Amino acid sequence: MAQQMMTSRERMLHAGDLENLFNALGDSKSFWGGVNAEITLVSEDPDRIGAAVKETIEAVGKNGGLILGAGLFVAISNQSTLYMIDSWRKCKDMYS
């Protein structure tokens, strides 16, 4: 249900580009990123943040080569950052 809250534009900003890179470069590379700070983290919506984290892990976390992150800036609340970390903790065993 949380994934339905994300627009297709948001999905491309989160995992779409990373997934394309993963498919092009294979599983021999690591990737850093995945959660769009300006759209998703600013929303302070735990469901939206959780959906972005899950989708990123599903897209490029298969080989353990994902450094989940977001470009953090002043407009991001501590709570949004904690939502992202909590979502990662809930998903971290998907490919371990």
Determine the pLDDT at residue 1: 40
Question: If DSSP codes are grouped into helix, strand and coil, which group holds residue 66?
Answer: strand
Cβ contact 40:75 at 8 Å = no
Which pTM was predicted? 0.74
- Specify the amino acid at residue 63: N
Q: pLDDT, tens digit, for every residue of 35-77?
A: 888 888 999 999 999 999 998 888 888 777 788 888 767 788 9
Checking if the pLDDT of 86 tops 90, the result is yes
Greater pLDDT, 80 or 17: 80
What are the extents of the domains in the chain?
2-91
Checking if the pLDDT of 3 tops 50, the result is no
Give the residue from 96, 49, 38 showing the smallest Cα distance to 72.
38
Buried b (16+ CB within 10 A) or exposed e, 50-60: bbbbbbbbebb
Determine the pLDDT at residue 2: 45
